[in-house]
A and B are shown apart, each in its own frame.
Chain A
């Protein structure tokens, strides 16, 4: 089992230059410590216009700062938006290759297509076509990384023959993932040989089904890249404290804050009727959790907050379902003071991590 950190970079109002800078610096301080403690990954989202929920609109810059400050921790796009109005594929290929170089070959590339009207409408993107553009992008990226020259004529973009530079440090290329929130996306991940970057807080039963199906289908995939990245990651909250009651209380505060902020987002489906966004994704579960009385005991049990023993039990359960990596959200709207976040990380590393063994390296790392 591997452990990572997952950054939305949530910043409470009022926004002042000092506040935004402080939160960014808090995140970097956490990442630096996490690297020293043996965390495997740091992921950063790409979100735009999402007030308080996420001020992480230039993840490549944040991840570069993470890479420069650390030695071993892998840096990952969780995710880069593969919609032409957001990001040109050439720029994605160039920036990711550059980040891979600057990090010494530590980049993972999660991909996705955005789910909120706030963002899609803000860029005047067409929700109906984002699934197709994502598919086109993820098939092009590995070729852009690997081929000496590249030309392309597609539905959403095209280019004449050019040499895309630089090339990634990792060979054949960084591992690729796709964000899995809506039902069925784990199938898309499996069919393309992509890692499943779960951004859902679904319960155990649902996750177990998804993971089983993913593992089954990926055995017969046609990978979009040069290798299959069969990995399952899930997202969780982390607050580790010596006292279980204190840990649970703070963890619930963190979770409730995050959930409440997330429910304020305007999902595409809320306003734009599209077959491409048939599901509300994780929102129904978050709404149930955010409204308090409907929170199920199972949901609380699966969350990585409390004392080390409680957290070990929760993660053991995820491990038993076949999860390879748990990525932790450490804060939302800075409700957890920075010193307590740092203490939580240290205690987790000391008391929880040793209970979990590491799985063999990915094929890409093995190939190197």
Chain B
């Protein structure tokens, strides 16, 4: 049967974000500008990064995403994330390895509401005539400098963004415990483009992924979307296979 990850998050819960509850309200995030670059990585470079409950995507790939949220409950902010392509059971997921938000308020809320492993830093999203650029600095050091080059229009229906999984401590059944949390934003597209990924600088250690090596670029997309960060519906045991260890804690999105 498929391979599984090897990371046991229960062994180092102190390194994980801690949520006071699983009851965060949803955030509406209108007119967000998102750039996502997908790059293959050698399988050997992903060792120890994926929780035991999940399957690695084969070939292995990462998603570098830089998003400009011009409106949110904590005001405008930019967010850069590194996700690892994977499967939660039968479903494609991007497992959050690391993230940087451009404001302290955003970093705090994202961390404590959805378990995103985010710290505050400098995140820039810049549009030029022939490219969209994202740069991230932490403590004055550039840890990501990337771009989507030569964006060409595509239909929003051509673009698929897969859901996320975060690893965090959260209370469940009266005990705060490490778990995996599904984060499943929805997207309404106003505009979408596709282009070539270009990564000029990338410090994997700064993204909690010291072994990751970028290899073959796949594709980049940038889009203007209404999106959200929804209420948490599913949590997963971090050790058991997801198809055994998934628990629904809230019904469908229609009740929001």
Interchain CA distance A278-B243 in the complex, whole Å: 27
- Please name all residues of chain A whose beta carbon is closer than 8 Å to the beta carbon of B55 when the two chains form the complex: 264
- Please name all residues of chain A whose beta carbon is closer than 8 Å to the beta carbon of B219 when the two chains form the complex: 271-273
A-B contact pairs, 15 of them (CB 8 A): A13-B1, A52-B1, A118-B58, A118-B59, A121-B59, A121-B216, A263-B91, A264-B2, A266-B59, A266-B61, A269-B158, A270-B162, A271-B85, A271-B218, A271-B219
- Please name all residues of chain B whose beta carbon is closer than 8 Å to the beta carbon of A122 when the two chains form the complex: 59
Interchain CA distance A333-B1 in the complex, whole Å: 8
Decide if B58 touches A51 in the complex (CB within 8 Å): yes
A interface with B by C-beta (< 8 Å): 12-13, 49, 51-52, 117-118, 121-122, 257, 259-261, 263-264, 266, 269-275, 278, 280, 286-287, 290-292, 333
Decide if A263 touches B90 in the complex (CB within 8 Å): yes
Minimum Cβ distance to chain A for residue B109 (Å): 29
Q: Does B165 contact A (CB under 8 A)?
A: no
Decide if A272 touches B218 in the complex (CB within 8 Å): yes
Interchain CA distance A275-B158 in the complex, whole Å: 6
Interchain CA distance A85-B100 in the complex, whole Å: 40
- Please name all residues of chain A whose beta carbon is closer than 8 Å to the beta carbon of B40 when the two chains form the complex: 121
Minimum Cβ distance to chain B for residue A363 (Å): 39
Minimum Cβ distance to chain A for residue B234 (Å): 12
* Those of B73-126 within 8 Å (CB) of chain A: 85, 87, 89-92
Given A266-B58, A273-B221, A333-B1, A278:B91 Cβ within 8 A: no
Q: Does B231 contact A (CB under 8 A)?
A: no
19 more contacts with CB within 8 A, not counting A52-B2, A260-B90, are A12-B1, A13-B1, A13-B3, A52-B1, A122-B59, A261-B1, A263-B90, A263-B91, A264-B58, A264-B87, A266-B58, A266-B61, A270-B92, A271-B38, A271-B85, A273-B219, A278-B157, A287-B90, A333-B1
Residue in contact with B154 in the complex, picked from A12, A117, A260, A273, CB distance below 8 Å: A273
Decide if B1 touches A260 in the complex (CB within 8 Å): yes
Given A51-B58, A121-B218, A266-B57, A261:B2 Cβ within 8 A: yes
Decide if A259 touches B90 in the complex (CB within 8 Å): yes
* Nearest-neighbor residue (CB-CB) of A335 within chain B: B1
B140-161 vs A, CB cutoff 8 Å, 1 = contact: the mask equals: 0000000000000011011110
* Nearest-neighbor residue (CB-CB) of B219 within chain A: A272
Interchain CA distance A117-B59 in the complex, whole Å: 9
Decide if A291 touches B90 in the complex (CB within 8 Å): yes
- Please name all residues of chain B whose beta carbon is closer than 8 Å to the beta carbon of A13 when the two chains form the complex: 1, 3
Q: Does B167 contact A (CB under 8 A)?
A: no
Q: Does B192 contact A (CB under 8 A)?
A: yes
Q: Does B194 contact A (CB under 8 A)?
A: yes
- Please name all residues of chain B whose beta carbon is closer than 8 Å to the beta carbon of A264 when the two chains form the complex: 2, 55, 58, 87, 90
Decide if A291 touches B89 in the complex (CB within 8 Å): yes
* Nearest-neighbor residue (CB-CB) of B194 within chain A: A273
Minimum Cβ distance to chain B for residue A253 (Å): 12
Interchain CA distance A263-B87 in the complex, whole Å: 9
Q: Interface centre among A264, A269, A286, by most B CB within 10 Å?
A: A264
Interchain CA distance A275-B153 in the complex, whole Å: 11
Interchain CA distance A290-B88 in the complex, whole Å: 12
- Please name all residues of chain B whose beta carbon is closer than 8 Å to the beta carbon of A118 when the two chains form the complex: 58-59
- Please name all residues of chain A whose beta carbon is closer than 8 Å to the beta carbon of B85 when the two chains form the complex: 266, 271
Minimum Cβ distance to chain A for residue B41 (Å): 13
Interchain CA distance A255-B120 in the complex, whole Å: 47
Interchain CA distance A28-B82 in the complex, whole Å: 46
Decide if B90 touches A275 in the complex (CB within 8 Å): no
Interchain CA distance A291-B192 in the complex, whole Å: 31
| A-B complex: 10 closest residue pairs judged by Cβ atoms | A263-B90, A290-B90, A273-B159, A273-B158, A287-B90, A272-B219, A264-B2, A271-B38, A273-B194, A271-B218
* Nearest-neighbor residue (CB-CB) of A289 within chain B: B90
Decide if A292 touches B243 in the complex (CB within 8 Å): yes
Decide if B91 touches A275 in the complex (CB within 8 Å): no
Minimum Cβ distance to chain A for residue B213 (Å): 17
